[in-house]
Amino acid sequence: MSSQKIFLFDFDGVIVDGMYEYWHSSLLACEKYLNSPYISFDQKIYKRVPNAFKEIRPWVKYGWEMVLIVHEIIKTENPINNFNKDDFINDYHQNCQKVLKDNSWIAEDLQKILDKSRNYQIDKDFISWVNLHNPFFEVIDFMKELRNREIQTGIITTKGEIFAEKILKQLNIFPEFIFGYESGTKVKIAEKLTKTYEILGFIEDRKKTLIDIKQNSETSHIPCFLADWGYLKKPDRYNLCNEIKLLKLHDLEKLVAI
């Protein structure tokens, strides 16, 4: 086992609450770049994240899905709302694929316009864009303590690497590694890191990702922690296998003892 130790973190929902940023950036992507005939805009919708978006967020895996969901929420006809959101959630993956097909969209193109929306905001008013993210300071303190103990840190996120890096820099956090969606799946990234590092833990708020890590023979030894403060589905906190620990913010102090 390598003597180099590293602790891994997801980004959105673990280090920062990016709910408002995702709503704002996806909305801007729809307004400026999507060219859909099925939506209309009232600037008031930028000011408040609707409950339907918050409820669907735990099912999201990739950023492009946010653009699709926002489009479906702001449609002029039969939009997703509090009354029918469960219908969309109950068959989430298939519904996303149906929306892609019905609109002749490609997932990669939606991701590109989301990135384009972020770049537009960064160029126009970087600080305002950064301030759309609310940091979890307990996690930031934990990362700094790891650094003090000469334990490296790595970020594995489905956000674009460049965007995560800009936010972390503003928070005065400089991990050794940042892997964005461009780098492949989280399991494959973790698998590669095990060749060089002793991975002391991975904090993630997507239960399925942690299950995939535990079911992979190359990564099953990694201690996995489900972030209680993240974007969790209602059942996620229950029926956890013994190998995945539910982690609360106040438990981070105990992890320092590793």
> Positive or negative, the Cα torsion across 200, 133, 188, 61?
positive
**Domain end residue (candidates: 63, 98, 130):** 130
Instruction: Specify the pTM.
Output: 0.93
Residues 145 and 206 in one domain: yes
* CB-facing half-sphere around the CA of 236: CA atoms within 13 A: 23
8-49 per-position pLDDT tens digit: 999 999 999 999 999 999 999 999 999 999 998 889 999 999
CATH of the domain at 139: 3.40.50.1000
Range of the domain at 44: 19-130
What is the mean pLDDT for each group of 10 consecutive residues in the chain (258 residues)? 85 97 97 95 92 96 96 96 96 98 97 97 97 96 94 95 96 95 95 96 96 96 97 90 92 80
Looking at the fold, whether 143 and 250 belong to one and the same domain comes out as yes
**Cα distance between residue 151 and residue 6, in whole Å:** 6
Domain count within the chain? 2
- Domain limit, last residue, from 130, 146, 180: 130
Listed in sequence order, the residues at least 6 apart from 199 whose beta carbon sits closer than 8 Å to its beta carbon are 6, 7, 8, 190, 193, 222, 223
